[in-house]
Amino acid sequence: MLDERGKKVLWAVVQTYIGYPDPVGSRVVTKKYAFGLSPATIRNIMSDLEELGYLSQPHTSAGRIPTDKGYRFYVDNLLMGRNPIAEDREVLLQINGRLKDINEDINCLIEDTSRMLSNFSHYLGVATAPRLTETRLRHIELVRHRGRHILVILVSSEGIVKNRIIPLREEIPQKILNKISQYLNEEFTGMTLREIKGKIVKEMSKEKVVFGRLVSQAIRLFREILNTQTDDAYSEDVYIDGLSSVFDMPDFANLSRIKEVFKAIENKYIIVKLLDRLIEFEGVQILIGSENQIEDMHEMSMVISTYKHGGAVLGTIGVLGPKRMDYSRVIPIVDYTAKRITNIISKS
């Protein structure tokens, strides 16, 4: 564990490096922060921090920069209890106003949120659309399309509308489809798609139970619909905004770094799987550098939180940026935005 002097110097190095990505020397810390310590003492403390793995020295004649371990200690121990400054409070008020003005369509809300997070943080804003398996059914409608195909319209209680055309084994007249729709709405409204799938599997496993023809058709048909809806669980929409802002930063000045970021971000399947792992955790989650499982993103950090409806996690929103991102500003922005989205969806 670091002593108080070590904590102060580490905090000063991280703060300085966040402001501008040049290795930080002892004289810079001495001039910028009134610790009452000489440059030699600061230099010795920085050397100790390097030995402990909190700082590294790119060149022998240069100053030092934070390591992933240094950033992690800074985030976990040196930002606690920080009170929002006036500028932060103004940003949160603007976010609140912006979210109120966004269209009630939840996908528009989430897409605009990624753009808004980028604008306010000056990094990449990221947001995933609600996971279908956790949304609650409000209404289902079946419309005969052509031949042995039907159009399925699913409306969730969160305001999500999904349309799918699915093939059938046999043609079903619209009159029967209407009756099937009525039965499904009466039987499953208010349940999540995950709960519905479990109930259908359970009902179909009752070998001795003989359903009427209409109910059997309804259950078989809804099972096909759910398989179509949830087979692409990881291809849900993920919105990423602000690439130009990040590439203007000195952290990504060289072409190889830019290629790494592009490679990671363009594979949205990987991004969604990564974010899906974080869904299990409450509150704001922070991945710093090598803590990220995507190797091409080891020079970046993520600040992510989840939004919910009725206690069920629907998706994630957050910010991606360089490891030296301004965590003290980004963390409250992400936290506040996720809570406001939850509140908005809960009232819809």
Q: Quick check: 72 pLDDT over 90?
A: yes
Any idea which of 10-19, 113-122, 163-172 has the lowest mean pLDDT? 163-172
Mean pLDDT to the nearest integer, 173-197 = 87
User: Identical fold at 4-78 and 86-130+237-347?
Assistant: no
Nearest of 30, 31, 27, 35 to residue 7 by alpha carbon: 35
More confident residue, 86 or 231: 86
Mind listing the pLDDT tens digit for each residue in 91-128?
A: 777 787 777 766 566 777 888 899 889 988 889 899 98
Q: Quick check: 243 pLDDT over 70?
A: yes
- Domain 86-130+237-347 sits in CATH at 3.30.450.40
Burial class, 101, CB count within 10 angstroms (exposed 0-12 / middle 13-18 / buried 19+): exposed
Which pLDDT score, from 0 to 100, does residue 42 have? Answer: 93
Which pLDDT score, from 0 to 100, does residue 34 have? Answer: 80
Banded pLDDT at 83 (limits 50, 70, 90): low
**CATH class label, 133-233:** alpha beta
Mean pLDDT to the nearest integer, 196-211 = 65
Q: Quick check: 50 pLDDT over 90?
A: yes
- Looking up tokens 């093939």 gives 167
Banded pLDDT at 207 (limits 50, 70, 90): very low
Nearest of 99, 92, 133, 101 to residue 114 by alpha carbon: 99
How far is the C-alpha of 135 from the C-alpha of 310, rounded, in Å?
10
Banded pLDDT at 210 (limits 50, 70, 90): very low
Q: Quick check: 211 pLDDT over 60?
A: no
- Phi/psi for 141 (5° steps) reads -130, 135
- Phi/psi for 150 (5° steps) reads -130, 150
- DSSP-derived secondary structure letter, 85: P
How far is the C-alpha of 8 from the C-alpha of 210, rounded, in Å?
73
The amino acid that residue 343 corresponds to is N
Mean pLDDT to the nearest integer, 313-324 = 89
CATH number (1.20.120.140, 1.10.10.10, 1.10.569.10, 1.20.120.160) of 4-78 reads 1.10.10.10
The total of other beta-carbon atoms located within 10 Å of residue 151's CB is 15
110 neighbors 129 (Cβ within 8 angstroms): yes
Instruction: Map out the domains of the chain as residue ranges.
Output: 4-78, 86-130+237-347, 133-233
Which pLDDT score, from 0 to 100, does residue 327 have? Answer: 94
Banded pLDDT at 86 (limits 50, 70, 90): low
Element (H, E) at 145: strand 137-146
How far is the C-alpha of 117 from the C-alpha of 321, rounded, in Å?
12
Q: Quick check: 234 pLDDT over 50?
A: no
Share of the chain above pLDDT 90, in %: 28
Strand, coil or helix: 324: coil
Q: Quick check: 202 pLDDT over 70?
A: yes
Which pLDDT score, from 0 to 100, does residue 104 have? Answer: 61
**Average pLDDT taken over every residue of the chain:** 82
Maximum average pLDDT range among 53-57, 83-87, 133-137, 274-278: 53-57
